Amino acid sequence: MELDLLVEQFKQQDEKAFESLYNMYSTSMHGVINNIVRDTEIANEVMQDVFIKAWHNAGTYSAEKGRFFTWILNIARNAAIDKTRSKSFKNAKQNLNADFFVDIIETHESLNDKTDAIGIGKFIKKLAKKCVEVIELLYFKGYTQNEASEALNMPIGTIKTRNRNCIKELRAIVLT
């Protein structure tokens, strides 16, 4: 598979492969980071650090332990969370509101972001509240199933099923 090959080349420190993977995932990582830090400029800064860290740690990635997307998603979430814990960040952002990812999705055409994401934004916003919660925790915040179960006060089985159905709904929106 082409993606597997790209990732393998990336592991071998292939600059072209790195660039391809950046083009595939950088916007997603920027989105995830932006959702955590709630500041596009800081998100840009952290995103650059994430890809640099990924390059330097390319050799440690192993397909057996998970998807490349998941691997870099972890790096991005951890970097963003680290950023929110830094002193400078805390001083600048005293009151981080507790909005969910759906609240920052743009539903109008933006001059800066002419991605498909804008077009599907309005549909994503229509996801049920229960979906928004579980997606927020599992994908944007990087909660484990146990942590999510605790946070939402739900058995793991219910988390899995609910999430499964929510992602199905999401797939119906974004993959058609």
Which residues would be at the binding site for other proteins (CB under 8 A)? Answer: 15, 18-19, 22-32, 34-35, 40-41, 43-44, 47-48, 51-52, 55, 63-67, 69-71, 73-74, 101, 104-106, 110, 112-113, 115-118, 120-121, 124, 135, 138-140, 142-145, 148, 159-161, 163-164, 167, 170-171, 174-175
In the numeric block, the tokens 């199933």 are attached to 145
Give per-residue burial for 31-68: e unless 16+ CB within 10 Å, then b: bbbbbbbbbeebbeebbebbbeebeeebeebeeeeeeb
* CA pair distance 133, 98, nearest whole angstrom: 11
Shortest distance (Å) from residue 51 CB to other proteins = 5
Distances (CA, A) of 128 to 96, 106, 167, 170: 23, 18, 11, 10
Shortest distance (Å) from residue 12 CB to other proteins = 15
Shortest distance (Å) from residue 70 CB to other proteins = 4
Nearer to other proteins, 62 or 87 (CB): 62
* CA pair distance 32, 17, nearest whole angstrom: 22
Say whether 10 sits in a helix, a strand or coil: helix
Nearer to other proteins, 38 or 89 (CB): 38
Taking a C-beta distance cutoff of 8 angstroms, is the pair 94, 38 a contact? Answer: no
Nearer to other proteins, 87 or 134 (CB): 134
Nearer to other proteins, 67 or 90 (CB): 67
Nearer to other proteins, 65 or 85 (CB): 65
* CA pair distance 38, 33, nearest whole angstrom: 8
Shortest distance (Å) from residue 136 CB to other proteins = 10
Q: Which conformational region is residue 66 in: left (phi greater than 0), alpha (psi within -120 to 50 degrees), or beta?
A: left
Shortest distance (Å) from residue 21 CB to other proteins = 11
